[in-house]
Amino acid sequence: MTPKAAPFANNEIGRITALADLNLDYLKLDDTFKDLTKLAAKITGTPLSMVNIIDNYTVWTVSGYGFEIQQTPREESVCQYTILEKEEFEVNDLSVNPNFKDADFVTGDAHFRFYHGVPISIGDHNLGALCVMDMAPRQLSAEKVEMLKIISDEITNRLKTLHYIESLRDKVKEAKQTQNKVAHDIRGPIAGIMGLADIMIEQGKNNNLDEVLDFITLIYKGGKSVLELADEILSEAKNAQKKISSKGGTAALQG
């Protein structure tokens, strides 16, 4: 049976937008967080711990300790309630909680009883939850809850770092494309200048003044186009550097 669905947060659109901006590949995040999920389980003494990212409809278990399911419908999760909280969400015994007592993960073979979740936040948006679960009712001490919050903060820092690295990769890709454009666009004007110079050298004294002036005019135009292209490239490079510096500063402030 499906547990009672939680209401959406007031900032749900902003939350989903913030999640989309990270552009995460959920299937490649396990190595990034598996040390933290293991640490969460060891600290709390629970057999299960997960890092869950929640989109419109799905809870993605991007890393788990003692847990292998990769995705769950949002309405069938407990973490849907955690992202509505600022600090934490705990259920000491799921079997007596009216929202979860008839859920399959409580009445079925999983036999879950205890849940504690801490939101994974960026800015004002809860994008998911770090949670621990047990098959027996229990309650975490304030010290262990505080440790979970520290781990959640580290998950947030790693998400920001991943996003920043991907942004840098995009900039490198753009730089390579610019490099290819330069090689293509600059080759034509330079080849033209060299061709005109060769003609003048070959003809030598046979060039009359009008022909020389024509050649010089063409060479001037070719040189000017190269300089304009160089100015354009320098301008693009400066703008790209400003964007990278701005993102780096923002990441540092948020961290």
More confident: 177 or 125: 125
More confident residue, 62 or 69: 62
Higher pLDDT, 57 or 178: 57
pLDDT at res. 115? 97
Spatial distance between the Cα atoms of 87 and 67, rounded to a whole number of angstroms: 24
CATH of the domain at 237: 1.10.287.130
Task: Answer yes or no: do 46 and 102 share one domain.
Answer: yes
AA identity, residue 27? L
Q: Which of 42-51, 173-182, 197-206 is modeled with the greatest confidence? A: 42-51
The more confidently predicted of residues 208 and 41 is 41
For the chain, counts of helices (H) and of strands (E): 6, 6
| SS (HEC) of 64-101 | EECCCCCEEEHHHCCHHHHCCCCCCEEECCHHHCCCCC
Domain annotation covers residue 161: no
pLDDT tens digits for range 90-135: 999 999 999 999 999 999 988 999 999 999 999 889 999 999 999 9
Same domain? For 95 and 213 the reply is: no
* pLDDT of 209: 58
> Residue 99's domain spans which residues?
12-140
- pLDDT higher at 213 or 156: 156
Q: 180 and 232 share a domain?
A: yes
In the block, residue with structure tokens 């010290």: 143
Q: Answer whether residue 219 is part of any domain.
A: yes
- Res. 253: pLDDT tops 70: no
110 and 26 in a common domain = yes
The pLDDT tens digits for 190-241 are 666 666 566 655 655 565 656 656 666 666 666 666 666 666 766 766 676 6
* Number of separate domains in the chain: 2
The residue out of 89, 122, 140 marking a domain boundary is 140
Q: What percent of the chain has pLDDT over 90?
A: 48
Residue 92 lies in a domain: yes
Joined tokens for residue 160: 């920001």
Please write the tens of the pLDDT for every residue from 4-36: 777 787 889 999 999 998 888 888 899 999 999
The pLDDT confidence band at residue 255, using thresholds 50, 70 and 90, is very low
> Is the pTM here over 0.85, yes or no?
no
Q: Are residues 20 and 135 in the same domain?
A: yes
Of the candidates 98, 90, 79, the one whose C-alpha atom is nearest the C-alpha of residue 114 is 90
Query: In this model, does residue 247 exceed pLDDT 60?
Result: no
Six-digit token string for 215: 């050649």
